Structure 1
Amino acid sequence: MNHQHFDIAIIGAGPAGAVAASLLNQQGFKVCVLEKQHFPRFVIGESLLPHCMEFIEAAGFLPAVQAEPSFQFKNGAAFTWGSRYTEIDFTDKFTAGHGTTFQVRRALFDDILIKEAQKQGITVRFGDSVSAYNDDTAELTVQPENGEPYVLQTKFVLDASGYGRVLPRLLDLETPSQLPPRAAHFTHIDDNITAPDFDRNKILISTHPKHRDVWFWLIPFADNRCSIGVVGLPERFAGLDDSEHILKTFALQVPMLARILANANWDNEFPFRYITGYSANVKSLYGKHFALLGNAAEFLDPVFSSGVTIAMHSAKLATDVLSKQLRGQNVDWQTEFAEPLMLGVDTFRTYVNGWYDGSFQDVIYAEQRSPDITRMISAILAGYAWDESNPYVAKSERRLAALAEMVGEAVYR
């Protein structure tokens, strides 16, 4: 079997893989990215968080992202429940850093990033899938779409395969998520929105008027298109035939969505899709010669658009540690990668759990919030979930519980 040699192999050419490849290439390492699919290809996760911009900029991708006219400028998040409506401004937040970002078609966004990586001289092989991995030797067995399998010999492997979860499957690392197996049904529509109270610069998150554990995203792009989806436990959607009926039926039960989408065209060339059981976890984030990035390691829930942010943050942490290791320095993947990464993941987990049990919704929909607390919450929703100087990061569960108890009665008045 043919043997090939690279310093580092990266599985997956999505945002985490592209960022990791660029950062390592900047350090002078020879990198090969293996991607089973061909780009552009559809993937969910279209509303970025401002924290992402730091990694996009560091990788040298920012000018190309800013130049794409269909990407919608984003400066915050809006929430609606019944007659209530509130906004979070990401430019007014506790943590320093970017306060704006973009809402993107991921097929185009991911394609732009990996093409920019190729322009930097990084080897990217589309149509190549990993069929086996030996962690003792850091060798990958790779099956091209057309051709004979080959062995890729490396010093280290980063798995950025997202929902493909290549190494967790090959190494039996997967464990059940503690989050219930929810389902998401979604599509793209020609929104034709003219309502003056709809802000295209923000993602709109809607809570179902009756079932508070059912919520909707409406993500506007810059060309009269929106991504729209509904998320809930499968039993909430029982009795409805397919994703189209589920999404239309539930969305039109939300007063604001029914009003602003009155002229929307739902029947374009974009199909109705669904995913279910997407939450995932693993036994370990790293091994002797590998580390897991982003969704390959753990995915929580789409409610706060944290997936791409966690993926890119994990790429930066891993490449920092790996660069030192390959230069002969002593490193500790547990304290330098796993624990720092999980700080932010666990922060997001607190607010995801709080969203579904209603406590964080009570905070969001409270008619009056302290400006200082709002700025702290804004920082987390903008992706800065690793800033331990923010009390709602450092002691997230206790702080959220206390805050929800304080505002809860006012929400139901």
Structure 2
Amino acid sequence: HEAVIDFRDKFSDGWGTTYQVERAGFDQRLVEAATAQGARVDFGVTVTAFRPDTQRPCLTYLDEDGQETPLTARFVLDASGYGRVLARLLALGRDPRLEPRMALFSHVEDHIHDPTFDRDKILIGVHPEHASLWYWLIPFSHGRASVGVVGDAETLTAQGNAAEQRWQRLVDAEPRFRALLRDARPIRPVASLQGYSADVTRLHGPGYALLGNAGEFLDPVFSSGVTIALRSAHQAAPLVERQLRGDGVDWQHEFERPLRQGIETFRAFVDAWYDGRLPAIIFHDAHPASLKRMISSVLAGYAWDTANPFVSAARRRLTTLAELCGHVPAASGDST
């Protein structure tokens, strides 16, 4: 089965396109933009302690020379991503409520010659035998691409002793990926990431707030991590500005609660992807275009548009639609 999802054809208003860029260059542009606005950026430092406080929160950091320095601020935003600095220091972590999975990924000179391949689109594939194991192929400029595979650790590690061997065997197992990437040449070692899903008991506290992956990360599918990171920053920035002016801010009501509403919508879609409900919907060829536009909106990142029925009641509507598309839930205790 094949299906095309065009994010421009969606229920919610807003952008329907974006850029596919390599992460290193993207991060560098963010740093340069921040410094251009007057931010000071220090590299090679490790935050070793944090003292929350409503007025003067204080960090302690260690530089590359082993020198420890206290840093007192008026407010702290943790955008440390997978490092999850404050979540670790304050023991905020909790069960992410998602099955532990593993990702293998690399960048390649793809040498794709197929004239039907559209470099303006991301290609997602599904393993022909393991339905919960999926692939991404994200084309970049200059003939490069990111290629990854995600699944349960047991299935992925059974493919070989080294990450490179596992990645290559899995890519070769998906017919379209094997054909497209037959001449591909990896330009960086295959990376392995396991147990990446994370959640915290709270996204804010006295004098601090957690942004993006520093607080919660679900799964690479749908690129929800980037959306949550940008959304959390967009919500937090005006609240910090108000707080620094001395205005009262209800961080639970104005930041955490609305942010988690969208995260829970993404969580419903992630769960539906892995248990087969969402693939049954996506690959069905007869559902109304209006429903497809609603689902497209969520996958495009509009998980906070409560006018969309697949946001306001995501789990119930996904289950109902999947049943109408012929999806049969796995029997209780079935691990497939």
Q: Same fold (TM over 0.5)?
A: yes
The within-5 A match list for 1:223-238 is 223-238=142-157
**Aligned partner letter, 1:376:** M
> 1:237, CA displacement in angstroms?
2.2
2:44 to 81, 105, 127: 127
**Match in the other structure for 1:100:** 17
Count residues with an aligned counterpart.
Answer: 325
Q: Is the 8 A contact 1:209 1:254 kept in 2?
A: yes
Residue 191 of structure 1 corresponds to which residue in structure 2?
A: 110
State the match for 1:286 in structure 2.
204
Q: Which amino acid aligns with 1:149?
A: E
The residue type equivalent to 2:243 in the other structure is Q
Structure 1 contact 138–153 (Cα < 8 Å) conserved: yes
2:185 aligned counterpart, secondary structure: coil
Mapped to 1, the partners of 2:15 and 2:316 lie a distance apart of: 27
Equivalent position SS for 1:112? helix
Task: Kindly report which structure 2 residues correspond to 1:10-409, keeping only aligned pairs within 5 A, or say none.
Answer: 84-136=1-53, 137-146=56-65, 148-239=67-158, 240-266=160-186, 268=187, 270-408=188-326
* 1:278 match: secondary structure: coil
Question: Whose strand fraction is larger, Structure 1's or Structure 2's?
Answer: 1
In 2: Cα distance, 1:336 partner to 1:362 partner: 36
Contact residue 306 and residue 383 of structure 1 kept, 8 A: yes
Q: What TM-score comes out, normalization by structure 1 length?
A: 0.77
Q: Is the Cα contact below 8 Å between 2:139 and 2:145 reproduced in 1?
A: yes
SS at match of 2:258: helix
Q: CA RMSD in A?
A: 1.4
Q: Which residue of 2 aligns with 1:72?
A: none
Q: Secondary structure at the match of 2:19?
A: strand
Q: Gapped runs of 5+ residues in structure 1? A: 1-83
The whole-number CA distance in structure 1 between the counterparts of 2:81 and 2:156 is 27
Task: Give the Å deviation of 1:147.
Answer: 5.8
Q: Aligned letter for 1:354?
A: A
Amino acid at match of 1:106: R
Give distance in 2, aligned partners of 1:140 and 1:262: 50
- CA deviations 1:109-136 (Å, max 9, x no partner) are 1101111111122111112221111113
Asked whether the equivalents of residues 277 and 327 of structure 2 are also in contact (C-alpha less than 8 Å), the reply is no
Give the CA deviation at 1:409.
5.5
Q: Could you list the structure 1 runs, at least 4 aligned residues long, displaced by more than 3 angstroms after superposition.
A: none
Q: TM-score, normalised by structure 2?
A: 0.94
